[in-house]
Amino acid sequence: MLTNFIPSEFVKSVFQITPEQLKEQGIKGIITDLDNTLVEWDRPDATPQLVEWFASMQQAGIQVTIVSNNNELRVKSFADPMQIPFIYKARKPFRKAFLTALRLMGLKREEVVVIGDQLLTDVLGGNRLNLHTILVIPVAKSDGFVTRFNRLVERRIFSYLKSKGHIMWGDEA
């Protein structure tokens, strides 16, 4: 069961994920979290660097779908200006939103990666469907209320996995 919390990959930020790397792995789609994965949880818009990142994925033919546990207004106001499909109130780590995203993109599981900043929602949800999961360091040091609780639980899981040798990267997460 604890192996479901181990991401396939760990990077410091989404900007370390390039279309070239993804295409080499046969990846055609990204399911990404929004808050503290792409931007700070309280930042309403994408940064210029993030807009460029989305554009590079689009130019490479890689589809992106935002899957967030946040409400419709938050996710829609972020995604609509860039015309990025999204699913709100996703109830991650439950499978339904991930399966819906796969169906929307018309892609197979092996063609999609899940990017997120939380073990309990993004990584667990993606791993439950055998998707390639990429954990990123949260872009903000602060979190919303529910996420603060999740972080406490995650730190314990992370420490345990690291002590057992299941995680080989640093203390960044």
Q: Give the model's pLDDT for residue 145.
A: 63
Whether residue 121 is contained in a domain is answered as yes
Query: What is the pLDDT averaged over residues 130-145?
Result: 84
Whether residue 171 is contained in a domain is answered as no
pTM metric for this prediction? 0.88
Question: With contact defined as beta carbons under 8 Å apart, do 46 and 38 qualify?
Answer: yes
* Average pLDDT value for the chain: 91
Query: What is the pLDDT averaged over residues 65-92?
Result: 97
Question: With contact defined as beta carbons under 8 Å apart, do 150 and 116 qualify?
Answer: no
- pLDDT over threshold 60, residue 11: yes
- pLDDT over threshold 80, residue 150: no
Whether residue 170 is contained in a domain is answered as no
Give the burial class of 26: count Cβ atoms within 10 A of its Cβ; 0-12 exposed, 13-18 middle, 19 or more buried: exposed
128: three-class secondary structure by DSSP: helix
Whether residue 168 is contained in a domain is answered as no
Best CA proximity match to 45, nearest among 84, 11, 7, 96: 84
Whether residue 172 is contained in a domain is answered as no
What sign has the CA pseudo-torsion 151, 157, 163, 169?
Answer: negative
The total of structural domains in the chain comes to 1
Q: Domain range for residue 38?
A: 2-163
Whether residue 133 is contained in a domain is answered as yes
8: domain CATH number is 3.40.50.1000
Whether residue 169 is contained in a domain is answered as no
132: three-class secondary structure by DSSP: strand
